[in-house]
Amino acid sequence: MRAKVIFPGAYHHVMNRGVLGTNIFSDDKSKDYFLGIIREKSRLKRVKILVYCIMDNHYHLIIEDSSGRLTEFMREINGNYGMYYRKRFGGRGYVFHDRYKSILIQGDIYLKMATVYVLLNPLRAGIVRNPYEYTWSSINEYFAGEESEIIDNIFIEEIFGSRKNFNDFVNEWGYKDLPVKKTRVGDMLGMDEFISIAFERFDRRKKEGESKRMRKKDYTFEPSEKVIERFERKAGVEIGKIDVNSKEGKSLRNELLILLKERAGLDYKGIMKYKPFRSLKYSSLGQLYKRAKNERKKCHRVKDRANRGEGMQGMTRIFFGLIYKDLDGYKMIRERIESLGTIDIESDEITFDFTDYYNDEFGSNLKRKWVSINKEIPENELTTLKLKSVKWESELSIDNIRTVNCDPGGISDSRVVLVTTKNYSHRVYLGDGIYAEVTLIYSKERFQPLDWTYPDYRTKTFQQFALKCREKFRSSH
DSSP 357-423: TTHHHH-SS-EEEEEEEEEEEEGGGHHHHHHHHHHHHHHT-BTTB-SEEEEEEEE-SSEEEEEES--
Q: Which residues contact 247 (CB under 8 A, 6 or more apart)?
A: none
pLDDT score of 302 = 47
pLDDT score of 5 = 60
Q: Residue 432's closest CA among 32, 40, 34?
A: 32
- Strands 350-351 and 315-324, sheet pairing: unpaired
pLDDT score of 256 = 92
Q: Which residues contact 448 (CB under 8 A, 6 or more apart)?
A: 440, 441, 442
pLDDT score of 424 = 80
Q: What is the DSSP letter of 21?
A: G
What's the alpha-carbon Rg for the chain, to the nearest Å? 24
pLDDT score of 201 = 58
Q: Identify whether the C-beta of residue 365 lies closer than 8 Å to the C-beta of residue 304.
A: no
What residues pair up with 275 in beta bridges, in sequence order?
Answer: none
Amino acid symbol at 37: I
Taking the C-alpha atoms of residue 42 and residue 37, their distance in angstroms, rounded to an integer, is: 8
Amino acid symbol at 401: I
**Where are the strands (E) in 140-184, listed by range?**
181-183
Taking the C-alpha atoms of residue 275 and residue 248, their distance in angstroms, rounded to an integer, is: 16
pLDDT score of 311 = 39
pLDDT score of 6 = 62
- Mean pLDDT per 10-residue run, the chain (477 residues)? 61 91 91 92 89 95 87 92 90 84 84 93 90 91 83 88 89 84 79 65 51 40 83 87 88 89 80 92 84 69 44 76 90 93 94 82 88 91 91 87 91 93 83 89 89 91 95 85
Note the pTM of the prediction, 2 decimals. Answer: 0.48
